[in-house]
């Protein structure tokens, strides 16, 4: 089932931006106020299947939603671990006494429909901190004798998936999900963003010098510049106004700073970040 994200154009400094090479500002927002890509960003972005796979294999929170299962607390339906199998199935480790395990055991040969909902929250403090969500619809079955004592391995056979994030809202077919690869920076992204924010805040804010006609406005009006997302294609920075007046859309905007070539690991990322900061005058 697809979860469409309504977008609407806004009128602010990003609307009249003359983005420089490798830099673009978002001009549309989701119904939750999140900036969405436009223009140059569309040309180089991870696919919906890659974004969904990245969320599944990341450390973002996840919960199982099982129709008809009432009287349970969300933490009882949160997997302890999750992995993706070679055919795109998702394996989930839960306590053996979890309501999800009991439901899957009692279902036996019957199909137990379930949804794995993932919520991605930025590891740094920014407005509109939820970066995205993904939903994996499928059928749960038990895989006995594999997990450690007191645990049970559940297999979620994927029927369909959807993602609604900073890039937009898209559906994902099981075949696409099975073939997709997670972003190579996914396991390090939270640590990297926190390090950039705490240890290189001045350099991140100095990236406003690469914003072309928006440089003066960003330097004067936007006090905070926080790295909000990082992937193999580039870094997204959220600029927030010095004073909090106006609507959420008026108080912040995102800019993407793209790498000349997609990076494959943290070492290549460091090289590109040095080049980016040097281009900004650091």
Instruction: Please write the tens of the pLDDT for every residue from 130-161.
Output: 999 999 999 999 998 888 899 999 999 999 99
At 20-68, the pLDDT tens digits run 345 554 444 444 445 445 444 455 789 999 999 999 999 999 999 998 8
SS3 of residue 103 by DSSP? helix
Confidence check: pLDDT of 198 > 60:
yes
CA distance 56 to 5: 20
How does residue 83 score in pLDDT terms, banded at 50, 70 and 90? very high
**Statement: 48-179 belongs to CATH 2.30.110.10:** yes
The structural domains of the chain, with segments of one domain joined by +, span 8-46+186-279, 48-179
CA distance 61 to 169: 19
How does residue 253 score in pLDDT terms, banded at 50, 70 and 90? confident
How does residue 102 score in pLDDT terms, banded at 50, 70 and 90? very high
CA distance 38 to 15: 11
How does residue 18 score in pLDDT terms, banded at 50, 70 and 90? very low
Q: What is the mean pLDDT of residues 63-85?
A: 89
CB 45 within 8 A of CB 32: no
Higher-pLDDT residue of 220, 124 = 124
Q: What is the pLDDT of residue 145?
A: 85
State the chain's mean pLDDT as an integer. 82
Q: What is the pLDDT of residue 246?
A: 52
- Phi, psi for residue 164 in degrees, rounded to 5: -135, 100
Q: How many CB atoms lie within 10 A of CB 9?
A: 9
**Tokens, residue 75:** 């933490």
Q: What is the mean pLDDT of residues 67-72?
A: 79
CATH fold of 8-46+186-279 reads: Split barrel-like (3.20.180)
SS3 of residue 133 by DSSP? strand
Q: What is the pLDDT of residue 33?
A: 45
Q: What is the pLDDT of residue 250?
A: 54
């Amino acid at each position: 089932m697809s979860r469409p994200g309504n977008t609407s154009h806004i009128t602010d400094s990003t609307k009249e931006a003359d983005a420089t090479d490798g830099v673009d500002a978002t001009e549309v927002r989701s119904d939750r106020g999140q900036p969405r890509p436009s223009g140059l960003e569309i040309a180089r972005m991870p696919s919906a299947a890659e974004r969904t796979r990245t969320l599944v294999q990341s450390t973002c929170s996840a919960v199982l939603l099982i129709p008809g299962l009432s009287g349970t607390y969300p933490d009882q339906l949160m997997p302890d671990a999750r992995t993706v199998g070679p055919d795109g199935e998702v394996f989930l480790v839960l306590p053996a006494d979890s309501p999800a395990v009991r439901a899957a055991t009692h279902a036996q040969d019957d199909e137990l429909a379930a949804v794995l909902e993932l919520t991605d929250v930025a590891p740094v403090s920014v407005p509109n901190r939820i970066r995205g969500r993904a939903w994996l619809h499928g059928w749960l079955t038990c895989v006995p004798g594999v997990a450690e004592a007191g645990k049970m391995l559940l297999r979620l056979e994927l029927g369909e998936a959807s993602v609604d994030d900073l890039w937009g809202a898209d559906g994902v077919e099981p075949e696409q999900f099975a073939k997709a690869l997670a972003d190579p920076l996914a396991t390090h992204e939270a640590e990297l963003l926190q390090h950039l924010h705490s240890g290189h805040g001045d350099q991140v804010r100095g990236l406003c010098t690469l914003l072309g006609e928006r440089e003066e406005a960003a330097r004067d009006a936007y006090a905070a510049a926080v790295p909000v997302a990082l992937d193999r294609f580039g870094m997204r920075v959220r600029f927030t106004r010095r004073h909090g007046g106006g609507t959420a859309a008026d108080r912040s905007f995102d800019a993407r700073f793209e790498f000349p070539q997609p990076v494959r690991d943290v070492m290549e990322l460091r090289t590109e970040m040095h080049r980016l900061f040097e281009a900004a005058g650091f």
